[in-house]
Amino acid sequence: MIARVLAFVLLLGSGLALLTWLESRDSFVPMLAPDAPSADGGARLPIGTISIWDRQEFASYGPDGGLKSRLVAEDALSTVNGEQVLIDVKIDMFESESGTTTARITSERAVVELNQSVDQIIPEPSDTIRMQAVVVDVRSGSRLAPLQLTTPSLVVNSANQRFQTVDRVVATSNDVDLEGEGCLFDLNAGRLVFTRDAEATVTAGDGRTARLHSRDALEVLRPPGVGTRPVTVVARGRARLGLSGDEGLALEANEVELEGMGDPDREGTFRFTDLVARGEVVLLARGNRFQCREARFVMSPDGAFGSVRLSGAIEGELDPTTADVAGIDDAALAAANGQRVSLWGRGPMDLRLGTDRGFDLAGPAELAWEDTRLWAEGGLRGVPGSAGRPLSFEAWSGVRVERDAWVVRTEQLEGRWLPESADAPAVIELEALTLATATGQDRDGSMVQLRAREGFALELTGKTWKVTRAIGVDLETGGRRPLTASADRVDDFTVDPVLGPMLSANEHVQVTVDGQFLRGQELTVKGLDDLVVKSSDGPVLLDGPGLHAEAREVRRVGDRVVAVGGASAHLERPGLELDLVAERIEVTGSIDAPADAPLRLRAIGGVNANVVEQDGAERMTIATQDLEVVRQPVPGGDQVQTTVRAREGVVATVVGRVGDHDLVARELDALVIGTPFVRSESADGAASPEAAPERRGSVEARGAVEVESRAPTVILGKGDTFSIDHQGRGTLVADPGRKVSANGTLPGGGQPFDVVGSSIEFDPTSMSIVEPRIEVKDPMRTGDGSGGETPAIIELVATCRRLEATEVSVVFDGDVSFLGTTPALESWTLRCARAELFTEVVPPKPGAEAEGGSKTSTRRRPRELVATGDVRVVFSEGLRAEGDTMTARAFDQRVRVEGTPARLRETGLDFVATYFDIDTVNALWEAGPFYVGPSSLGGEPSKKP
């Protein structure tokens, strides 16, 4: 019985305590239980008679008497530890003036703690009520309304109007959807805080969805003020924001603050007004990744993400192609990681979003990809890669591009990235808009610099980079063969890792290499060891030490110079000068090398050349289709040997120590061994060359040779081979089975002749003919050569095995046969083993020296003809003679035949004597003692041999 009374008192105290707790909350007044009988039999009883086993309701009223809140519990229990347990609780809150519901809290179970001091009869409830399976629906009256929270548990603090839980909470509102672990909701402050693993989701009017997630705290609040105020969501402790839609943004930072409000034009959607990220910020936009200390977004009036300003330690990775990635996880970034472009800058950096995408980064700033680095003191601006549009950028002030061993410098640079395709690799295009230089190294490590006064366009592909256009260009190289070049325009300057630098330039081209100057309209350089200068308007000019050339095209390959198209050249070397024109001229060998260095010249097509020793002792003029001049040291000595070779249709003139000759042949070789150099020390210790006196050379022509020698021997001949040795001795030779032919004047007497033979040799004082058939005009002319003398023999045709002619005689040797004509035009023949024609000096005319003012040159004339060895002579008048010798004297026109015995036949009689003197003019003869013997001279007069 006592226990029941105590239990009743306890339950009654709990009910009174709950009532006291409610009353303390704005004069909460108990309502009558709907089915409790009144004391006078009516339907209402005061709350003091509460039944704890039935439905309970309580109400509170404001100062104005209006209903403020109502609590309804379907059941109530008390615990032994002084707690009041309410079952199926619903709390409604009202606006006291209008009576509209501002909030409703529903819970399957609520627990109220009771506190009682020693001087209290009725326990007092605490400020806290713990609720389970809770739904909080805030409809109005709070800055965060409308808002609905659902959570497994909730602790309500009545004193400060706060709701708190450690469980997971799902919250929804017109602005934002929230979910997270642990929550603090402050009705008075309009503030909602999640403690960990929280996410806020908003949906914009255009369908974009933003999800803000935090591993730690996430706070939602709305500041006080008149009118609609934006809601602010702040995520701390490594927060992540992902935004779907066209921007494709993802954001990670130590703190992310998102601000916005419901879009009045689109119910249930969110309009962004601000977004700020702070602390180790990572931003991913369409596959482009940025890092900084702070990112502050600027929204457009319709809530779209207009731009974002990044500041503090800015770094980035740009996708140069067209990737669109909305996530920020590593897998998503890796999927976008094709070829990446790194970015760095001091900042700040403005990144434009939406359709007008781009970035502006204050310098100093840097772009880097593969082995390329772009630095700009002023800054960078550009457009990251997006669908249909690759990465493009602009750099200014102190711009520097570094790639391998090359550096490009300029003040303003534009660039874009052309993505890789099935047919071509990725290409980076750069354009310097102001004065620009490209400095690097050739394959041998030597310096190469390209300078463009009005900028250039540059392409980077793999390991190769090239200038596709440059204006006002200067090129300079170092190394063993320094080169400088200038041009108004360059169309191609390529740096290949294997071939080295290659250049194509146009308009007003000038090049200097190895001391040579070239000028033309077009320039092509391949690896700097191969350069070509062309011109379509006037010739290309090459001018340097020892070589001057002009042509439509001039090419240098290492030590080789090639001039093509209407080419002309002037070459000078110690002891040698060469002038020539041809369709193509090629010179191999360093022009400014030592005097005895090897040198080779080749000319092809319509060649006309003039080769002169510098002292004028030797001169050679050559017309041919193929000419080669080779200059090289003579083995075993200090001499320099010059060889001239001509091929195809050679026409040449050789004048000098070897004589004066005109040549026509298929081929010609000329060898000049001369200009030796003896090195001695000068006063300053430097080596100086001194020419030695000896000079030797030779000339050889082959194939259908025609030669005309004018001095010292006059001869015009044809044969298969003609040569002149270093002593001036000429040889005209026929191939086996063929003959040479020649005409000219004999040495000494100067008698004209025509000859056919196997070979002819001659020098300034002699002539030798093998197997000749020679015709001599006026061989026995007398007098001083003035034309008034009477010849003893006016024509002579001879054959023999060999003819030797000198200044004093002409020797016919072996099977000699003569056919001559007397002054009476009678023919005569001579056969013998050997014949010799002797000459003598022609005395000058009286007074010739005085009249001419100079000494008359020495001339020679025939004196006599001597035949020996089985001599047989026949005159056409029927006179025949034979003997051991025959002498024909020019001064008396008489022929003397001697023998042991000599025989003469006339009118059928044979005369025998020791000699016979025959008058060739009157056909008379005389003899010493003679007798008439039997005829031993038979046969008819010889025919012309």
Other CB atoms within a 10 A radius of the CB of residue 444 amount to 12
For 261, the token pair is: 């409000």
Lowest mean pLDDT, pick from 152-156, 217-221, 225-229, 761-765: 225-229
For 441, the token pair is: 């190294």
Q: Is the pLDDT of residue 716 over 60?
A: yes
Of 250, 378, 393, 368, nearest to 316 (Cα)? 368
* Distance separating alpha carbons of residues 780 and 839, to the nearest angstrom: 10
pLDDT grade for 801, boundaries at 50, 70 and 90: very high
Contacts of 561 (CB under 8 A, 6+ apart): 516, 542, 547, 549, 554, 555, 586, 587, 588, 591
| pLDDT score for 898 | 92
Choose between 885 and 728: higher pLDDT: 885
Lowest mean pLDDT, pick from 147-161, 347-361, 549-563, 673-687: 673-687
Q: Which amino acid is at 235?
A: A
The mean per-residue pLDDT over the stretch 552-575 comes to 86
Lowest mean pLDDT, pick from 125-134, 381-390, 465-474: 381-390
Superfamily of domain 51-168: Lipopolysaccharide (LPS) transport protein A like domain (2.60.450.10)
- What does the angle CA 514 – CA 519 – CA 525 come to, to the nearest 5 degrees? 65
| pLDDT score for 315 | 92
The mean per-residue pLDDT over the stretch 375-386 comes to 85
- Concatenated DSSP letters of 824-852: TS-EEEEEEEEEEEEEEEEPPPTTHHHHH
Question: Following CA atoms 545, 547, 553, 554 in sequence, which dihedral angle do they give, to the nearest 10 degrees?
Answer: -60
* Distance separating alpha carbons of residues 759 and 705, to the nearest angstrom: 12
The mean per-residue pLDDT over the stretch 389-404 comes to 86
Region of 468 (left: φ > 0; alpha: ψ -120 to 50; beta: rest) is alpha
Of 385, 416, 381, 409, nearest to 395 (Cα)? 381
* Distance separating alpha carbons of residues 661 and 701, to the nearest angstrom: 11
Contacts of 155 (CB under 8 A, 6+ apart): 128, 129, 130, 131, 163, 164, 165
Q: Is the pLDDT of residue 8 over 70?
A: no
Q: Is the pLDDT of residue 581 over 90?
A: yes
Most confidently predicted of 261-270, 359-368, 839-848: 359-368
How would you class 648 by CB atoms within 10 Å of its CB: exposed for 0-12, middle for 13-18, buried for 19 or more?
A: middle
For 558, the token pair is: 């290492």
The answer regarding whether domain 739-781+792-841+859-935 maps to CATH 2.60.450.10 reads yes
Collapsed DSSP state (helix, strand, coil) of residue 657: coil
CATH 2.60.450.10 residue window(s) in the chain? 51-168, 435-538, 541-675+696-726, 739-781+792-841+859-935
pLDDT grade for 17, boundaries at 50, 70 and 90: very low
Model confidence pLDDT, tens digit, residues 785-796: 444 455 555 577
Lowest mean pLDDT, pick from 315-319, 825-829, 836-840: 825-829
| pLDDT score for 3 | 32
Give the side-chain half-sphere CA count within 13 A for 576. 30
| pLDDT score for 334 | 45
- Cβ atoms 822, 877 nearer than 8 A: no
Compute the residue count for the chain: 945
Beta bridge partners of 842: 859
Most confidently predicted of 63-67, 490-494, 536-540, 603-607: 603-607
Most confidently predicted of 133-147, 479-493, 664-678: 133-147
The mean per-residue pLDDT over the stretch 3-14 comes to 35
The mean per-residue pLDDT over the stretch 424-450 comes to 83
* Distance separating alpha carbons of residues 848 and 552, to the nearest angstrom: 58
DSSP E strands, 66-176: 67-78, 83-94, 101-115, 124-138, 147-157, 162-173
The mean per-residue pLDDT over the stretch 644-669 comes to 84
Q: Is the pLDDT of residue 4 over 90?
A: no
Model confidence pLDDT, tens digit, residues 296-307: 988 877 777 788
The mean per-residue pLDDT over the stretch 234-244 comes to 86
Other CB atoms within a 10 A radius of the CB of residue 505 amount to 30
pLDDT grade for 122, boundaries at 50, 70 and 90: low
| Cis bond upstream, residue 823 (ω within 30) | no
Other CB atoms within a 10 A radius of the CB of residue 110 amount to 25
Of 185, 216, 175, nearest to 198 (Cα)? 216
* Distance separating alpha carbons of residues 724 and 706, to the nearest angstrom: 14
This prediction's pTM:
0.60
Other CB atoms within a 10 A radius of the CB of residue 922 amount to 10
- Cβ atoms 509, 539 nearer than 8 A: no
pLDDT grade for 653, boundaries at 50, 70 and 90: confident
The answer regarding whether domain 541-675+696-726 maps to CATH 3.90.1410.10 reads no
The mean per-residue pLDDT over the stretch 188-194 comes to 84
Other CB atoms within a 10 A radius of the CB of residue 483 amount to 23
Q: Is the pLDDT of residue 422 over 60?
A: yes
Percent of the chain with pLDDT over 90: 18
Question: What's the chain's average pLDDT?
Answer: 77
Choose between 507 and 205: higher pLDDT: 507
Model confidence pLDDT, tens digit, residues 242-287: 877 655 678 899 999 988 877 666 666 778 888 899 999 998 877 7
Q: From 3.30.450.40, 2.20.25.90, 3.40.50.150, 2.60.450.10, which CATH number describes the 435-538 domain?
A: 2.60.450.10
Choose between 42 and 529: higher pLDDT: 529
| pLDDT score for 608 | 92
Beta bridge partners of 194: 183, 218
DSSP element (H, E) containing 309 = strand 305-311
Q: Is the pLDDT of residue 595 over 80?
A: no
* Distance separating alpha carbons of residues 487 and 472, to the nearest angstrom: 6
